[in-house]
Structure 1
Amino acid sequence: MAQLERITGARIPAQGVDSVLARMRALGADLPPGDGIAVFNRVYLSVTEAIDRAIDTGAAGGFPDRAAAITLDVRFAERYLTAVDAAVCGVRAPACWRPLFQFRRHPGVRPLQFALAGINAHIGHDLALAVVDTCRTLDCEPGCLEDEFERVGDLLVSLEERIREELMPGPDLLQVADPLTHLLGSWSLERARDGAWAAARALYALRELPSVAAEFTHRLDTTVGLVGRMLLTPLPD
């Protein structure tokens, strides 16, 4: 499958969000429910639908710049969908996504781990690059997107608790010694979001130093990939 065509121009049409939603729905229909990619895809689809509703209706505080919010949302989704396309074609995906692709059918990995590993890859790596992509598209600096970034982040954080509740395997998670409880406590979406904003600002500042920016991006990718591998540690029943 060809890499997603990059959307260009100063403004992104509203149907751009509809397009990525259609891709995610089609992907979900094609995958077995227990597949690790399918688990994350369901989570991300619900997040993207919530963002789309907030853009359309002004929910969650609204978005000061609707076009900027749409552009960021589409650029963000493109990163995930392109990684999936790479896996389908047998092309080497970014390091942040490789653990999920590798362990997606492992019987010892629980659905909540799949969801968090995908969120880790998408927030920890893709979100920073999506902010820079949006800056290039709209010819602006990251500071111009801070309100949109924060509102998208607020929606993600508000959905995290619901995701954990839906995918919790049972009351044993109340036990501090449970291995999954330990894994859950070792990662925070809010901290990952803060890191993504700092990384986006750094990458934008390095835009005139392409070799340094490329090295920074590579290190970010591999570091997020290591966290993802930890989150996908197979656990006993």
Structure 2
Amino acid sequence: MPAGIDWVLARMRGLEAALPPRDGVAVFNRVYLTVTEEVGHRVSAGAFRSRRAAAELDVRFAKRYLHAVDQASKGRRPPACWRPLFQLRGHPAVQPLQFALAGINAHIGHDLALALTDTCRALGTEPRALEGDFHRIGEVLVTMEERIREELMPGPDLLDVADPLTHLVGSWTLEAARNAAWASFRALWAIRELPDLTEELVDRVDASVGMIGRCLLTPLG
């Protein structure tokens, strides 16, 4: 497994050991750890078009989440997309599934476009060179999302359609978040030589993703 991915896995395992299991960040961290392990295995097995690009993206992507964790642990404000999860991580009326989806929403909705942009800059390549591997990683994420919903959804297999949790988690999909992230990435790449416009776009995406996260974490107890 690439050294950078090994470092990311070590950080995530350290968080898993340090955080209470019911903590909202811990719930998301467990999900993300599983995804990163799977992506790492696939990178090592040559499942991506470019092993180097896939590893670079995976590490840059994960570092944005870990940076948010570090900011929160130091009492600093993480990006707006992450604030709802850190603020409500201990709320007793928020379900584990909500924590998991809120973390995925923040990471995919905001961090992914920035990580893709950073990867293109680091490798000196264009967005089209990453598109195939972006979709291959997406296949892993879709599988994980299905498992998350099955494992963390409380109650019987078929909840009443009027159940608030059923309504809430049904209003967000990974596919829509990934499509939006790719569109944001293309926009950021197109205006990469315009720093003021880039900063404005990033701030607006950050705020809108944070608003979605706050809705996903609506207490339902």
TM-score range, shorter chain: over 0.9
2:6 to 3, 18, 24: 18
Within 5 A, what are the aligned runs for 1:34-49? 34-49=22-37
The answer as to whether partners of 1:173 and 1:181 remain within 8 angstroms in 2 is: no
Give the aligned partner of residue 170 of structure 2.
185
Offset of residue 64 of structure 1: 0.7
Query: How many correspondences in the alignment?
Result: 221
Give the aligned partner of residue 95 of structure 2.
110
Deviations 1:74-100 (A, max 9, x none): 000000000000000111100000000
The answer as to whether partners of 2:94 and 2:219 remain within 8 angstroms in 1 is: yes
**What secondary structure is seen at the aligned counterpart in 2 of 1:174?**
coil
**Percent sequence identity over matched residues?**
66
RMSD in angstroms over aligned alpha carbons? 1.1
Deviations 1:111-131 (A, max 9, x none): 000000000000000001000
Distance 1:64 1:141 in 2: 14
Deviates more, 1:94-103 or 1:149-158: 149-158
2:60 to 75, 83, 86: 75
TM-score by length of 1: 0.91
The answer as to whether partners of 1:99 and 1:228 remain within 8 angstroms in 2 is: yes
2:213 to 222, 225, 228: 228
Give the aligned partner of residue 7 of structure 1.
none
Give the aligned partner of residue 71 of structure 2.
86
Within 5 A, what are the aligned runs for 1:1-237? 14-58=2-46, 62-171=47-156, 174-236=159-221
Unaligned 5+ runs, structure 2 = none
Deviates more, 1:145-154 or 1:96-105: 145-154
The answer as to whether partners of 2:97 and 2:153 remain within 8 angstroms in 1 is: yes
Unaligned 5+ runs, structure 1 = 1-12
Offset of residue 172 of structure 1: 7.1
Distance 1:173 1:216 in 2: 40
Distance 1:158 1:27 in 2: 23
TM-score by length of 2: 0.98
